[in-house]
Amino acid sequence: MRYLFGLVLSILFISNISAQESADKNAVMRSAMNYIEGFYEGDTLKLQESLSPQLLKFGYWKSRETGEYGEKDFMTFDQAVQYAKRVAESGNHPPENAPKNAEVLDLMDKIAVAKVTAWWGYDYLLLSKEDGKWMIHQVIWQGPFVAE
């Protein structure tokens, strides 16, 4: 009987951990999709929902003319929001078939890593869980997108 009680408690504990991990994975995915959709749609609310005010985004863009990578391109939280506003105002959205994929690469209690594939290239997102909410703190990216 004691063994059975311990087994039941273990199963409940493992189930609870799995449910929390699944909820966290879904929340990380939602943050990653907010990131893509915020830029694609010009939706500043989606970006504000998922980007830390201390965001540092940087990456590398390859020149179509020279085939060489230029200087690192940096973006802060405020610049990300301003970029989305310009997209919304101009209506210059990517085509409907533009890549829009996200995957969670690693997930722990307080930190996670996700990969995003978008029209501009590939982004790796570093997130942390703050007050129960997954926020993107750092992004490193490389473009342009090349279909694999």
CATH number at residue 95: 3.10.450.50
Q: Could you tell me the residue range of the domain that residue 31 belongs to?
A: 2-143
Which position has the higher pLDDT, 19 or 48?
A: 48
Confirm whether 148 is domain-assigned.
no
Mean pLDDT taken over the chain: 87
The conformation of residue 93, written as its DSSP 8-state character, comes to P
Q: How many domains does the chain have?
A: 1
Q: Which amino acid is at 71?
A: E
Q: Are the beta carbons of 73 and 88 closer than 8 angstroms?
A: no
Which band of pLDDT confidence, cut at 50, 70 and 90, is reported for residue 145?
low
Within 8 A by CB and 6+ apart from 83, the residues are: 39, 75
Residue 69 near residue 26, CB atoms below 8 Å? no
What is the pTM (predicted TM-score) of this model?
Answer: 0.82
**pLDDT tens-digit map of 89-142:** 998 889 989 999 999 999 999 999 999 999 999 999 999 999 999 999 999 999
What average pLDDT does range 62-69 have in this prediction? 84
